[in-house]
Amino acid sequence: MTTTNPFATATSWVEGATGSLYDLDNLPYGIFSDRDTTRKIGVRIGDFVLDVTAAAQATNQPFADVLDSDRLNDFMASGKDVWHQVRTWLTTLLSDESRAAVVVLRPLTDVTLHLPFEVADYVDYYASMDHATNVGKMFRPDGDALMPNWRHLPVGYHGRAGSIVVSGTDIHRPAGQRKAPDQPAPTFGPCQRLDIEAELGFVVGRAVPFGERVGTDEFADTVFGVCGVNDWSARDIQSWEYVPLGPNLAKSFATSISAWITPLDALATAKVPTPEQEPEVVSYLVENPPMGYDIAVEVELNGEVVSQPPYAAMYWSPAQMLAHMTVNGASLRVGDFFASGTISGPEKQQCGSFLELSWGGSEPFTASGQTRTFLEDGDEVVLRYTAPGARRRIALGEVRGKILHTI
Ligand code: MN
């Protein structure tokens, strides 16, 4: 797999960018504001944000209009050719010092980052076999860990798009109905088993009308980029409410995503085949071969890394999840978003949820000298993601969130 970045060997004149996790082969997009509070499109280089909106206007780029926005949606909707043109143009700007005069760079510490795109619909999948098996063992100890459908289709549910928030947003502990199996009736109050789910998210940049299926071979034409996701989960609310229609309030109070959307081109060198899929999938899910990403995830709790889930272990590929969303004729809108489900590997220290790390709360773990099963008020979680880039490792945007007292 070769990168489509034609400047893979160029170096950036931006101080500190070369050799960093945000070098020229990365260039993720986000929405920022600085002193005048106007939201603009930015691209990250090193520890700086380049004002993409201003640079496109200053140089009269043909795509300047779609870059003059407070969200990425118009840029995404302009299509894959424009995605490539903009990336090539930015690579030139940031590698050719003679063009530095048109570039406005702001230190990351001087800007506020916002939700990078307006979220249309949101589907959350359940694509890790290790996670699904662990949850099945805990919730259904007497039955098969995997449900009969699990190896035949990527199981998912429709999430709440309106409560997707940007990294750094504080999260109030949700309240709701909770009922332990040994209690006769539910009680109402603050969630007592507040959890994380470390996931990867995919942003749709192409509208597709009703009645058209998106094939697994159309993934790169349809998905604009990738981001980190923390699907905050209230386990006690979930276990009482989810039968028989799936999660609702246990998930809808907040889902955090990174402020940066990493273009697929930056991850071309991170593509790896998924683990073998057995049995063979039905025709619309065929991908030769199914391709995942070699993205290493770190779950940090109060400053200490407590788990390192490997995205490469995920069973269902992103292209298969995308094909599944439209096989029934459902349309796609620019800004549709789907997430992978909890990323867990086969080892204990590779689990992407505290439910698994503490085995349902029965095996406490320690973070920075404190014992935990689920989240306490004041706890802060940071998810970090790195992948092999065209040169060295690159990073996706972190996903940070702190737990506040209950609503
Ligand atoms: Mn989830």
Encode burial over 260-294: b for 16+ CB neighbours within 10 A, e otherwise.
bbbbbbbbbbbbeebeebeeebeebbbbeebbbbe
Encode burial over 93-119: b for 16+ CB neighbours within 10 A, e otherwise.
bbbeeeeeeebbbbeeeebebbbbbbb
Task: Say which of 84, 131, 152, 172 is annotated catalytic.
Answer: 131
DSSP3 helix / strand / coil % (the chain, rounded to 5):
25, 30, 50
- What is the Å distance from ligand 1's center to 5 Cα? 32
Please identify, among 114, 131, 152, the residue that sits at the C-terminal boundary of a domain. Answer: 114
Report whether 32 contacts 21 (CB < 8 A): no
Note residues around ion ligand 1 (Cβ under 5 angstroms).
124, 197, 231
- What is the Å distance from ligand 1's center to 231 Cα? 5
Please identify, among 114, 131, 153, the residue that sits at the C-terminal boundary of a domain. Answer: 114
pLDDT attached to residue 215: 98
For residue 18, being part of any structural domain is answered with no
- What is the Å distance from ligand 1's center to 224 Cα? 21
Instruction: Give the other-Cβ count within 10 Å of 234's Cβ.
Output: 27
Residue 85: enclosing H or E segment and its boundaries?
helix 80-95
Per-residue confidence band for 2, with pLDDT thresholds at 50, 70 and 90: very low
Q: Are residues 158 and 283 in the same domain?
A: yes
Q: Are residues 274 and 329 in the same domain?
A: yes
Q: What's the total number of domains in the chain?
A: 2
pLDDT attached to residue 8: 58
Report whether 236 contacts 192 (CB < 8 A): yes
Per-residue confidence band for 6, with pLDDT thresholds at 50, 70 and 90: low
Could you give the dihedral angle defined by the CA atoms of residues 232, 29, 264 and 297, in that order, rounded to the nearest 10 degrees?
-40
Q: Which residues have a Cβ under 8 Å from the Cβ of 177 and sit 6 or more positions away? A: 186, 187, 188, 237, 240, 241
Q: Are residues 228 and 351 in the same domain?
A: yes
Q: pLDDT tens for residues 15-65? A: 999 999 999 999 999 999 998 789 999 999 999 999 999 999 999 999 999
Per-residue confidence band for 1, with pLDDT thresholds at 50, 70 and 90: very low
pLDDT attached to residue 51: 96
Position 389, amino acid: G
Residue 172: active-site member: no
Report whether 394 contacts 22 (CB < 8 A): yes
Query: Which residue matches tokens 């996670």?
Result: 131
- What is the Å distance from ligand 1's center to 386 Cα? 20
For residue 12, being part of any structural domain is answered with no
CATH number at residue 35: 2.30.30.230
Q: Are residues 99 and 128 in the same domain?
A: no
Instruction: Provide the residue range defining the domain that includes 50.
Output: 29-114
